[in-house]
């Protein structure tokens, strides 16, 4: 990595290190939230207290040095990350008073999908009940002329995250979802995948096969991953 600090910068950082140590800190951190791959480097000028100690003020000279480093990274490297479902990202500047170094790291969290979980139901699964819900659902589906299967199948999607989840009101190929179908689908999600709409959430789809009178569920959980990358580090 290219050295950016001047001899004067290093003297200033040594003085700031002594200042932090006198306040009981081994390091001083400044965190800046980002907006989907974009960092407004001007926000560093709004930092008044270190993120890891809200009673220790950030010296103006430190802000000036950090601004110059962030501008260098912005112009030479950028902040792009190769993930599809970016959830959160921030930049953290750390002044380590023991190692006598200043580091800029990029932290991200993102969602990935787990392997799909597959479940199938047939009319035989409910043969001991007085009223077979599979039989009833297919009867409702076949009696509604507005419902338009594709090659004998109907696909119904659902999605959930952040403590809120829903099943679509319409099938992918067309037609509104009967109440008997919607209620049954919600029951299966709660039974098999309780919490499917909580936190990172999940998504998937039901397939109703009108020819074979079977229902398939393909369920995928969202998994939150996180990682960090050091963009700049220099000793003083």
Paired tokens of 85: 């479902």
* pLDDT tens digits, 172-224: 999 999 999 999 999 999 999 999 999 889 999 999 999 999 999 999 999 99
In a domain, 233, yes or no: no
Paired tokens of 94: 């750390």
Alpha-carbon distance 168 to 170, whole Å?
5
Q: Are both 105 and 139 inside the same structural domain?
A: no
Q: Are both 16 and 105 inside the same structural domain?
A: yes
In a domain, 236, yes or no: no
Q: Are both 177 and 133 inside the same structural domain?
A: yes
CB 139 within 8 A of CB 176: no
Q: Are both 139 and 165 inside the same structural domain?
A: yes
**What's the confidence (pLDDT) of residue 1?**
65
Q: Are both 128 and 211 inside the same structural domain?
A: yes
| Whether the predicted model's global pTM rises above the 0.85 cut | no
Q: Are both 61 and 137 inside the same structural domain?
A: no
Domain boundary residue, one of 112, 143, 170:
112
Domain boundary residue, one of 66, 96, 112:
112
Beta strands in the chain (DSSP E): 27-33, 49-50, 53-57, 85-96, 101-113, 117-122, 153-161, 164-167, 202-209, 214-235
Alpha-carbon distance 158 to 204, whole Å?
6
Give the structural domain span for 74: 7-112
């Amino acid at each position: 990595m290219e050295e950016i600090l001047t001899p004067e910068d290093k003297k200033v950082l040594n003085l700031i290190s002594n200042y932090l140590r006198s306040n009981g800190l081994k390091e001083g951190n400044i965190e800046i939230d980002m907006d989907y791959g974009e960092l407004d480097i001007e926000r560093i000028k709004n930092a008044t207290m270190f993120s890891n100690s809200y009673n220790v003020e950030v010296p103006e000279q430190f802000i000036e040095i950090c601004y110059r480093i962030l501008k260098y990274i912005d112009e030479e490297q950028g902040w792009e990350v190769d993930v599809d479902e970016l959830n959160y990202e921030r930049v953290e500047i750390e002044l380590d008073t023991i190692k006598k170094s200043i580091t800029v790291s990029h932290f991200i969290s993102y969602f990935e999908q787990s392997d799909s979980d597959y479940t199938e139901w047939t009319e035989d699964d409910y043969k001991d009940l007085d009223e077979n819900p599979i039989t009833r659902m297919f009867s409702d589906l076949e009696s509604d002329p507005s419902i338009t299967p594709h090659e004998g199948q109907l696909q119904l999607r659902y999605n959930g995250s952040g403590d809120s989840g829903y099943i679509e009101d319409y099938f992918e190929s067309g037609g509104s979802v009967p109440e008997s179908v919607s209620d049954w689908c919600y029951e299966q999600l709660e039974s098999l995948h309780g919490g499917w709409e909580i936190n990172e959430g999940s998504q998937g789809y039901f397939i109703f096969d009108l020819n074979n009178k079977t229902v398939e569920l393909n369920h995928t959980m969202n998994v939150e991953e996180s990682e960090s990358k050091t963009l700049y580090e220099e000793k003083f």
